[in-house]
Each structure stands twice: as C-alpha cells, then as structure tokens.
Structure 1
Amino acid sequence: MMANETAAKSTKSSPTPAVEPESKLKILALHGYRQNGDGFKSKLGSFRKFIGKHAELVFVTAPHIAPPLPDSEAGTEPDPAQRSWWFNKDDGTFKGTNKNGPAIGFEDSLKLVEKVWKQEQCCGLLGFSQGACFVGLLCDLSARGMTSIKPEFAVLSSGFRSGSLVHLNCYETKVQIPSLHIYGEADEIIPKEMSMALADTFTDPQILTHPGGHFLPAQASQKQTYVEFFRERLQFHLEAQEIENATAANSILVDDSGPAGNGVHDDDDDDDDSD
C-alpha cells in the first residue's frame, strides 16, 4: 500500500512556478528615414532617461540603404548608415508627402520587425517620422490579424499616413489601443496636419505638441506626460501578466488533479505542464 502511494506521488508533477512579471515595458523603436538604430538611440538619450524607470527601448535598423542625397556629387556612394524602411517613389527614394507611389521593400522590413518583436518579447511600439508611419501601419495590420505583432500601445512622433497605393486601405478602421502622438507646431518636413491625420486613425489618441520642428522633444515640459503615459502602460501590462499567470496556474491545478481526481495522470500529459 505504501509503495503504491509513493508511486502515485512520484507520478504527480510538481506545480510549474509562476512566471515573474517583467518590471519594465519593452518597446520596439523604429527610426526615421536616413537614420539607423544606433543614431536614433543616441538622439533619444534624454527621452530614455525620462522613461527609464518604466520602459526599455529596443532599437532596430531598417534593412534598406537609402540612396545618396539629390545634391550629392556625381559618383557618390550610398552611406550604409542612412537607412529606410521602404521607398515610396519610383526613383527608389522616400518622401513623406508623396502620394500614390509604391512601397518598395516594405515586406522585407515587416519581416524584420516581426522577427525582432518576437525575439525581444516586446509589448509596445515607438516610431519617429517614417518609423512612426510604419508604427501606424503595424497597428492597423495587427488589428486586422495581418501581422504577428500585437502591440499593447504605440508612441508616434512626427508621424503621418502612408501615401503608398498598397497602404491606402489601412486606415479604414480606427485602432483601438492607447496611443501618444507627438508633433511640432513648426515642423516643415512633416506638417502638423499630417501628424494630426494619423492620430485621427486611433481611438482616443493622446496628443503632445511642442513649438519646435522635426524631432522628438525631451525637455522638462514634456517629462510629466511621458512618465505618466508609460507608468500607466506598465501598470496595465503587469496587471495583464498577473491575470495570465493566475490563469496558467489554475490550468496546471486542473491538469494535476487527473481524470479521476486522484493526483495521477498519464505520461502523455507531462508535456502539457510546460505550456
């Protein structure tokens, strides 16, 4: 009898420990046209300090090298440090205000960010200029189940709607996740009206304006907005993780009870304990 009891106990798997919740948000950061991940990280030094208690940024570099500037000397080689997520002009360049053009290389960039998103286990998106345009597209694609990226929130600085023909149907339904939209009143590269139009594709967008031009501001006057936004996002993220862990723990208890409720289950069930 004692041997049978011992055998029964040995076949019962020990409860899988709950996964410790992440203490910070992990956010995929997408740079602008003719930028790269390292340069974008350098530019956001003050911003990263503001949000460092609540969030960590994961920087990725676009896969496409931008061509030399139009006023470059003949024979100038492309600068590998100047990157683009896609090109929306037939000459293989990009301009935010261009309409009804192609989206050359977009699918390659989509595959890249999907890979990094999964590897880094990110939960939010941040983008600047072309990167913010990309973030807007990713949010829409996610809502329609057309990408593996599932952002909980998004931050878009100097963003705009893509004018590429293949993207024109991406803004028919409003995105239902929390979003912070940042733009400069004096932005001459992406006029504020374009950023406002992108913000209008989100439900209840939070707007932060500044008197400057084409950059993501990180001054004392913006700090409170950033801190409060990311603190709230972290709170919701941790609460969701707690619910997920509790659900997983309850599932394990149900599995451990066995089909007859005697704490014994078949060998085939052991693999399920790791889910």
Structure 2
Amino acid sequence: MKKLRILCLHGYHGSADIMQNQSNSLVSELKELADFIYLDAPSLAEGDHGWWHAIEASNKVKGAGVHSTPVSYKGWAKTYEHIVSFFRDNGPFDGVLGFSQGAALTALLVGLRAPDGIIGAQYPLAFNFAILVGGFFANDPLLQSLYEAKDSYDLPSVHIIGRADFIVPLRYSYEVSALFKRPLVIEHNGGHVIDCSERTRLQLAFFLKEQLDQVKRLSDRSK
C-alpha cells in the first residue's frame, strides 16, 4: 500500500529520538497513511544541539532564535548542507513536519522548495506539503530572502498552535502561517508541545488522506 513519506525535524534541545517520543501519541494512528522519518541536527554528532544558535551582534547566544531582534544563525550553513544531502540520499519526501526550531526550519525549507518539482541550485528541495508545530519566523537577515519565494509557499500546510504556548507566542505562529497560501490552522489548549488531542489527530488525519489521494491521482495519470 502506498504511503506518504514525511521528514520530521526536532526542536532546539531535541533529537530524532526525542521527537519520535514527543510525536508518538499524535502519529501512532497515522502510520497507515505515512512513514515518519526522524532526522538529527548535524550539531548532535559534535556534542552540541540545535539546527542553529541565534547569535546577537555582541556575540551573546540567544538560543533557538524565538524573538524579533535581528540575529545571525550560527550553524545554518551546516544544517543547509545536511538537509539537502539527506533529501538527495534518502528522498523523495512528500512532506516535512517540524516542531519548534524544527518548525522554523521547515518554513525556511519551503523557501528552498522547487514549486515545479525540478530541483536546482536555487531550489534544491522538492516536497508537497508542510506541517509546523509551534513555528516562528527566522530572524537572521541573511535568510529573509527565502520567504520571498511566493510560488514555493503555494502548497498545503498545517500549523498546530498552542493557546498556552509561552515559548513561541501564538502570534508568532500565526505570522508564519500567513506566508502560506492554503494554511490549515489547528489550535489547542496546551502549551509548547506536539498536541495529540483527538481534534488535532482527526484534522491531521484528514489532511494526510487528502495528500495521499493527491499522490495517487498523480500516479494514476502518469501510467
């Protein structure tokens, strides 16, 4: 049976194993629809953490980068190469799911997505949908141009947002969702977590069924 392949990206102090545990209650009933592939940030192999560290002009580390002050993202270049290589060697992927800093990364990856599916130097990635859990904008000025790739953001997306999230405020996630032309926003009463409530599970299952049906339609047309 055909299933979706979804790349999963963890948060700042997370790992592939941690995110698998965090998301298990949400995705356990979705495994007939999709395979979930969890990836470690390249920094973990060096005893560090995170997809990048947000650095102020004073060289002070500001963590994951969940704020509005312009910063530089130390580690972005290595993360970029890691993701592009993983897509090349382990793809294709139908979608990307990110939590927290991984959700901010997912939004950036959409800006690197080839809207016509033909990858190249400017758009080295190809996938068809994005799922952001507790997402926020990147505040590195050097990355802002990625958000200008309007055609790349014309894809189905889900944005899971906690009303009691005090790490990534609600409005930050809504600001990111506005980048996308077809955002499905799912609010829940929890905080900065991967919500597994029945309402979230049902809406995400419906979304994934739609994506799987689309893959099957395209496959049938190509026969």
Which interval holds the TM-score relative to the shorter structure?
Answer: 0.7 to 0.9
1:60 and 2:39 are equivalent in the alignment = yes
Q: CA offsets per residue over residues 151-175 of structure 1, 9 Å max, x none? A: 1000001001101111122323541
Unmatched tracts of structure 2, length 5 or more: none
Alignment of 1:23-38 (within 5 A): 23-38=2-17
Tell me the distance in 1 between the aligned counterparts of 2:60 and 2:68: 12
Matched, 1:94 2:70: no
Matched with 1:238 is 216
Quote the residue 1:85 is aligned against.
51
Aligned partner of 1:149 among 111, 121, 125: 125
Structure 2: distance between partners of 1:230 and 1:194: 25
Identity of aligned residues (%): 27
Q: CA deviation at 1:29?
A: 0.4
CA displacement, residues 228-251 of structure 1 (integer Å, 9 cap, x when unaligned) = 00011011012222333x2xxxxx
Letter in 1 for 2:107: G
Q: 2:7 & 2:29 partners in 1: Cα distance?
A: 17
- Between 1:227-236 and 1:217-226, the stretch displaced more is 217-226
Whole-angstrom distance in 1 between the partners of 2:199 and 2:15: 27
- Segment drifting more, 142-151 vs 107-116: 142-151
TM-score (norm 2): 0.88
Read off the aligned partner of 2:140 and give its amino acid letter. Answer: S
Question: Distance between the aligned counterparts of 1:232 and 1:209, measured in 2?
Answer: 20
The higher radius of gyration belongs to: 1
Could you tell me which of 96, 107, 115 is aligned with 1:125? 96
> Which residue is equivalent to 1:256?
none
1:44 aligns with 2:10: no
- What amino acid sits opposite 1:91 in the alignment? K
1:222 partner letter = T
Among candidates 156, 173, 177, match of residue 195 of structure 1: 173
1:165 aligns with 2:141: yes
Do structure 1's residue 138 and structure 2's residue 117 form an aligned pair? no
Give the conservation status (yes or no) of the 8 Å contact 1:24–1:53. yes
Aligned counterparts of 2:83 and 2:202: Cα–Cα separation in 1: 29
Residues 47-97 of structure 1 show CA distances to partners (whole Å, capped at 9, x for unaligned) of: 12121110111100001259xxxxxxxxxxx9x3x6211112133443311
- Segments of structure 1 that go 5 or more residues without pairing to the other structure are 1-21, 67-77, 247-275
1:109 is matched with 79
Q: Secondary structure at the match of 1:133?
A: helix
Distance (Å, rounded) in 1 between the aligned partners of 2:64 and 2:161: 20
Matches within 5 A, 1:221-232: 221-232=199-210
8 Å CA contact 1:129–1:160 kept in 2: the answer is yes
Residue in structure 2 matched with residue 177 of structure 1 by the alignment? 155
More strand by share: 2
Letter in 1 for 2:200: Q
Q: Which shifted more, 180-189 or 56-65?
A: 56-65
CA displacement at 1:98 relative to structure 2: 4.8
1:143, distance to aligned residue in structure 2 (A): 4.6
> Any conservation in 1 of the 2:111–2:148 contact (CA below 8 Å)?
no
1:173–1:201 contact (8 Å) kept in structure 2: no
Q: What stretches of structure 1 move > 4 A for 4+ residues in a row?
A: none
2:79, 2:127 → 1: CA distance? 17
